[in-house]
Structure 1
Amino acid sequence: MAFPSKEIVERVRREYPAGTRVRLEKMDDCQAPPIETEGVVEGVDDTASLMVRWSNGSHLHVVYGVDEVRKI
């Protein structure tokens, strides 16, 4: 997997600032929270992945280009 460009990382940071509420649509991880779990974005890392605090207590990242969330 290629890392996203600096421009993409900055765009994702603008689109999902800390505090943005999201709902999980798809996550390719055996430890993923259930679909439709809600969470709060805590930040965006240097790979454009969202660092999310999920309502079930999980802190799994939303991987850019693999997993999907929707703003709520």
Structure 2
Amino acid sequence: MSRRAEIWSGLFAKKHPCLRASMLPKRYGWGVHFNGEGRIALYAMESPEYDHYAAGGEPGVKLLDAMRSKRG
């Protein structure tokens, strides 16, 4: 296994809050999409891509809410 692959497998072995904890999805409603290659895309709530993913139009995509700011 190459060093890059070893680092990436270690990095993605556990879940990270990353952009789910930012103000973009929490306050402003942006959608964050992570693909299998480790690439990230941001989608505005008004965009057709956001509607596509939010409606479950992509098989295998798991929808997660943005992270809370405070404990409930």
Is TM (by shorter chain) over 0.5?
Answer: no
Q: Of the two, which has the highest radius of gyration? A: 2
TM-score (norm 2): 0.30
TM-score (norm 1): 0.30
User: Larger % of helix: which?
Assistant: 2
The higher-RCO structure (CA 8 Å, 6+ apart) is 1
